[in-house]
Structure formats: structure tokens, C-alpha cells
Amino acid sequence: MQNKPNKKQPAKGTLRRLMKDLFSFYPKMLPLTVALILFSAVSAAIPAVFMENVVTVLADAAKTGNWDWGAIRAQILPMLGILVAIYAVSLIANYLYHRMLAVMTQGALTKIRIRMFDRMQRLPIRYFDTHNYGDVMSCYTNDTDTLRQLIGESLPQILVSAVIVISVFCIMMWYSVWLTLVVVLGVTFMTLITKRIGGKSGKYFLLQQKGIGRTEGFVEEMMNGQKVIKVFCHEEQSKADFDRLNDRLCEDSTRANKFANMLMPILFNIGNIMYVLVALAGGALLISGVWNLSIAGLAGTAGATLSISVVVAYLNMTKQFAGNIGQVSGQLNPLIMGLAGAGRIYALIDEMPEADEGYVTLVNAKETDGKLVECEERTGIWAWKHPHIADGSVTYTRLTGDVRMFDVDFGYVPEKIVLHNVTLYAEPGQKVAFVGATGAGKTTITNLINRFYDIADGKIRYDGININKIKKSELRRSLGVVLQETNLFTGTVMDNIRYGKLDATDEECIAAAKLVSADDFITRLPEGYQTMLTANGANLSQGQRQLLSIARAAVADPPVMILDEATSSIDTRTEELVQRGMDALMNGRTVFVIAHRLSTVKNADVIMVLDHGRIIERGTHEDLIAKRGRYYQLYTGAFELE
């Protein structure tokens, strides 16, 4: 089954999905946090009302000339008391929702990273063959950081500012429609500026995120290939390539931040101009005595003309209104970056996992009255448990390692077939070797046996069972693979050997190491089997790393082994030791060997010679030498493997 590429979803859909996820993570805390944010925002808009009332009291005293401070205090102090109480409650609300935001933000990121990693572990090999590792790593680092800013800073700030803007606008309309029109004119201009400058900034912030992923991927590639770079004196070219990527990232980042840095000062100054215009308009209305159109006036709770108390309160509200419009505009770029990061994260999470329609499983078994019976304990006998849907029966087939391919065609992309009509068989205990030039299809065949890829046509049977019916995890559990490229994980030598069988005892791991002649160099390490390995075993030689990789396969003790140039990184003397261990390891097992050193496959039961995805010769070493065909040419050096 082919995995379809994930389609990029729009920002609106990304935001909706993110909020849905946050609610599923925190069904009680999220609504409570939003309620506290709303309360805090509304509280920030209320002081304008109290200011208008206080100024009204003072203006009335000035108008009548009756400065009865006792009466004035009696009117003002209760209002101040209520205001202090509101501020106190608002302070508590601020403290609580910021703590809750911290918990939700880090908790949500933890859960999302778990989702990403879980999905990554279930993606097919095809995904990693077609995606840059550094770009994938960027999802865990840069994209999650932008998501942290989005959840913990941008969205709450936008919500607070939006509520304050709406609340202040309603209060403005309550006091004076004329002055509100002046503010609306200024806000319209601010919106146009934000749309023009913010749109350009957002475009380059998106390019910046992509550029970061490309740059990280390049740096990781250069770090992994540092020895090759040094050997071929490629430092200057690598620097030039990096400079090209880095300059492009710098250009996009500079443009993004240039527009972003321009926006806030422009909006701030527009707010100052709006403040002046409101003051001028308010003064003109006060002097002219024009009828004040307001909701309060229509409701009969205010006078017909504008008062000084309204103008003073209005100026404060104008500052607050413009400031929060600026706050919303200032969060647009982090919002765009956060949604871009979330989109990349969800693109990874939404990738189609490796399809597995298999239902045949691998179980421990024992023989009772000549029949295989499933059991819990390990008996050394494995069997395929095959449930039959038609009649509900279950049959058990002993795992022997009989692998057969019939007329198999395959292409990494459908339009380009790389294996043509491949037919072969490996009976239990046979050693089958694949030889041929690079790109002939040797590794591709083994990738099909363990179902890293699925065939385009034909059949592959394992102990007589179509491998499409076998669960991939069970199929791979029955196969031991030693790759040409070794991968060691951070941990002790013992941990890395045990990776082949997680429940293996120390004694089993040591026995496996001795079998493949790795015990000698391991015991000479500073801490022996407890020596810590880091950076893919950088403190070991390439040959030592390969020996540990072989020991890892040996401890798994599978009935079928796939050796992809398993001794390529081992010197001739060590190879002789390892070959004896490998012979002991291969005894009684079905083994597929890919080798460029033809001396390592002379004792194979059958040798398959491949050329451009086709098997052109097959037979034993002696048979193929006698034919004096392509294998003879390869063996005698008349035709080079490469």
C-alpha cells in the first residue's frame, strides 16, 4: 500500500485543531483559564468608568464652588474602594491564569512531542528516505518553540487585548459616538497599515521557518560527514554551501524582522496622533456645545452636551484602545510563526503510518502428540499462528526459515521498476549470496523480505505463508539483520548488544560477543561491557562498531539472517575470526548474504548474480566459475563490481 503525501491544511484549520487538542488535554483547566483571562481583560477596561465618575464629582464641585471635601470624599472613596477590590481580584486572576498557562503550555508540548515521536516510530522507511533528517528534527526544536510562544504568549495576549478593545469600544459608544468616530478612523488606518506591513512580515517569517529547517539539515549532514569532508579537503566548498543557505536564511529573517520592527513604532505613533485628534475633537465639542450623541444619552442617563469628565476619561480610553490594537498587531507575526510551526508538526503527525494488514503472528510452541501447540514458555520452537477467517480455525506452522520469491517486480517509484521478474528460493539452513555491481538490486531484495517496502507484483512466501498476511513486527522479529552502516545508541556496550533482544541476560550478551569474536576488544575497554558509548560509538573503530552490530544480531538468535556486507569494515585478520563466528551463527539458519568480497561467499549454497534488477546467473561457486560467465569475470577481476 502506497503512503499518500499529507496535504497542508490552512492556518484556520490548524488553529481550530490546536484548540481542540488543548481542550482534550485540559478539559477543565482550559475553560477556567479563558474565564480568568476574560475577567482580567474586562477589569482592565473598568477604570475608565470610575475616572469619569471621579472627574464628574470634581467638575460639579468646581462648577458650584462648593468644595466640601467631606462630601467629596464620601462620593469618591467608595468608588476607589471598589476599584481597588477589582484590581486585587484581577491581580489574583492574572497570577492564576499565568500559572495555568505555564502548566498547559509545557504539558501540551510534552503530549504533542510524544504524538510526534510515536507517529515517527510507525512511519515507513520510505518517509525517511524522502525527508531530510534535519528538517524532521526542526519539528521537535524550532517548531515546538514557536508553538510554545503561540500557546503561552500570543493567543492569551490576543484574547486579552481583543476583550479590552471590545470592552473599551462599548464604553466609548456609551459616552460619545462623535469621539468614537474619530477613534474608528484612526483604527481603520492602523488596520490598513497592519495588513500591509504585517502581511509582508508574515510571508518572510514562514520562509524563515523553512530556512531554519534546511540549515539544520545541512549542518547535521556536514557533522555526520566530517571525516569525508576532511579527507577530500572539501572544507571551503562546505563553507560556501553553508554560507549560501545561511545568507538566504539571514535575508528572509532580516526582511521578516524589519517589517515586524517597523510595525509597532508606526502603530504607536498613530495612537499618539489619534490621542491628539480626540483631544482636539473633544475640546471643539466642549466649546461649541454640540449635542452629544451617545448610548447613555439615548438611554436617558446622560446630559445632552458633552462634559469635561467624559473627554478626560475618553482620552485615557483612547490610549488604552490604541495600545491594545498595537498589542494585537504585535502578536500577528508570532501567531503566523506559531501556526506555521503547528502546521509542520501536524503534517508529521498526519503522515500515513506504515500499513500492516497482516494477521499471522509468531508464538512460542511445543510438540504434543506430533502436533504444534502454543505455549507461554520459551521452548526454542517458534510457530506461525494463522487464524482462518472463513471457518474460524487456527493452524500452526513451524518457523523453519523457508523463503521463496515468485516473479517479483518492484520499484521505489511506480514508474521506475528496479527489480524484474525475480524468482528465488532459500530452503531452511541454506546460505544464499547476492553479488553484482552497485545498484544491481541486492539490498532491495532483502528490503522486500523484511517488508521495508512492498512489492509491485509477484509473491513472497515465508514457510509457505504469503508475507503480506504476516504482521510486520512478527515478520521482522524472526529476521536478524546486520547492516553495512552501523548504528550504536547512547548507552553501555552491554545495552547496545542487548538491543537485539531486550530480555537477554548478561550471560547471553557475553556469549553472543564471544561467538563473533567481539569479547576480546570489549574486555580491553576502560569499563569492559559497561563502557559508555556516545555519538554512535565514536570512541570505537569502525570495525569494532561492526562487531557490536553483529553481536546484536547474534543475541537475537533468529532463524533467518540477512547480512548486508557485514564484514566490510573489518580487517582481514579480524575477518577470519569473525567468519568462524559467523559460520557458527549461520549454522542451521537460512542466511542471505550481500557481499562485495567474493571470498566471503565461496561457501554459499547458492550464489545469485544480479545485473540491473535481474538474476542473470545462479549456482555454487564452482558451478559459476566453470560457466566462465559474469561471476567468473567478477571473481577473476575481469569485470569490476563497481
- The percentage of the chain sitting over the pLDDT mark of 70, rounded to a whole number, equals 88
CATH architecture of 403-636: 3-Layer(aba) Sandwich (3.40)
Give the model confidence (pLDDT) of 383-411 as tens digits: 999 998 878 889 999 999 999 999 999 99
Q: What's residue 577's pLDDT?
A: 64
Q: At what angle do helices 308-330 and 235-288 cross, to 10 degrees?
A: 170
Q: Which residues make Cβ contacts (< 8 Å) with residue 585, sequence separation at least 6?
A: 515, 516, 550, 553, 554, 561
Locate the domains of the chain by residue range.
11-349, 361-398, 403-636
Nearest-angstrom CA–CA distance, 436 and 609: 6
Structure confidence by residue, pLDDT tens digits, 199-218: 677 677 778 877 887 887 78
Q: Give the tens place of pLDDT for each residue, 589-626.
A: 899 988 777 777 888 899 999 999 999 999 999 999 99
Helix/strand/coil (H/E/C) assignment for every residue in 171-229: HHHHHCHHHHHHHHHHHHHHHHHHHHHHHHHHHHHHHHHHHHHHHHHHHHHHHHCHHHH
Give yes or no for a contact between 360 and 470, defined as CB atoms under 8 angstroms apart: yes
- In words, the CATH class of domain 11-349 is mainly alpha
Q: Which three cell numbers stand for residue 21?
A: 487538542
| Positions in the chain whose pLDDT score sits under 50 | 1-7, 641-642
- The one-letter code for the residue type at 6 is N
Burial class (CB in 10 A: 0-12, 13-18, 19+), 353: middle
pLDDT (tens digit per residue) in 78-87: 777 877 888 8
Between the CA of residue 385 and those of 375, 452, 470, 561, 589, what are the distances in Å?
A: 11, 22, 9, 21, 21
Q: What is the pLDDT of residues 422-438, one digit of tens each?
A: 999 999 989 999 998 88
**Cα 436-544-441 angle, rounded to 5 deg:** 15
